[in-house]
Structure 1
């Protein structure tokens, strides 16, 4: 089979498209024929080995794992003898390391679920990590309630486009922040108000919000807290930061500050799980959530796709067709 591999940290130039052995599922394994896989910021962080703190797990000098890609949609080709959740022919979507490949094997217990009806494989692959992050931020950490006011910084990106729609599905009044080229997109997916950051400073409008979901991290914590109601919640969800600690510096600051202020400043890590993938499928099939796919690339163009996402202005999701 063909698969994307990298053996050293660096730019997209170190990525290779290789012929490698097709994997075989063990007793609890599920072999998926990948039809599409989405690009995430995590892919370029893995590729760069950045921030350096990350290398304590990924490998201090060179990567321990050599695949890239985490979100996929495809068809189950074979299952191990102990597998009962899936059968050959099932259309699935979910999370699997090394998804930029023609085939992957994952345990039955992996975050894998039935593909939402009505979506193409490319659309379904765009959902998992970004939509799970938006769902868990708004539902679990912010505990969003109908009628609350929400501001989403980075509303046109992968997570932002899902967050706008999910906040509306939960009955919130939504303000999206984006650049001029994306104002119409953000309005079209349900935002009640759109702030073009090239024309207006969103931290100085005088409006206050119950929840701020920050997918960019381009303004100070003090600026973002100024946006909150007295009991408001600020959710930091950005990989921005220094070369050594990355977002950890901001997370540490927020955790300390959280001890002394009335605002809620929670940190969170996305939990990839099949139950929430089922929740997302239900929302999609009910017409309340729809992925935004701005461009697709074949497997051979993974370097270009990752470079585009790394530049930081991708609209919605970038997807690899396999």
Structure 2
């Protein structure tokens, strides 16, 4: 696998400070040893309203010249809204993102079925408000009806993707999707060669060794994109400890299940990107959320952490294992 940096890390949402521009983020990715970048499809980074074709191609050349090509764009779409006009605006948004993805030279656009979004109040991001109103908006509609709206939208968008030579990667992300089986069901129902899978380990409800192996095996060659997350600290011996943080509480360590995931990806022959994303509430120190330096250190250690796992699990006979 190759290691990517997802630009949501530097969107200025989760740390206390300003965003990096995409050219600035490209420089950071190159400095920290990433193999490529994924552009988040919203302001201030990748909203297609801000990225006409010429500007996309300029960014593509810059990224390639720095040795960190744009390997994916990430949509923040929601096809589940009960209001048809809202769903239609989301289809328009995704069609424009498909155009932008092609112009940036990226083969893949990450998509959701449903997405509750984030709010900024007063500066930093929060999931709380949209997570709470999503059930209210959908409470009068059955799962089957909501599912059909999402399927119809994806069928249409897969046609646009095919016209542009872009592959859509459906992520195993809440709230409508529970696990990889839901992703695979939707892919089967859409039945397009331009819709594939983005299976992410942190989003799997069963992260046991057996659960990860089974998920990877069932997804198989449909896997075209994946991500990892969390936070990191350096131990006294120089190694890096990875861990999760949920609602400010330090939780499960990540090394075991990421090692299992890398091994499972090797087993199915996946050689694409695994992108680092920092997209959750961060520590508060002296009454203030940490700043961009925390994001810098997280991105730097994330690349080292994942590189060590990939190297350790490299198949015998591969370039890395030599």
TM-score (normalised: structure 1): 0.29
TM-score (normalised: structure 2): 0.29
Give the structure with the larger strand fraction: 1
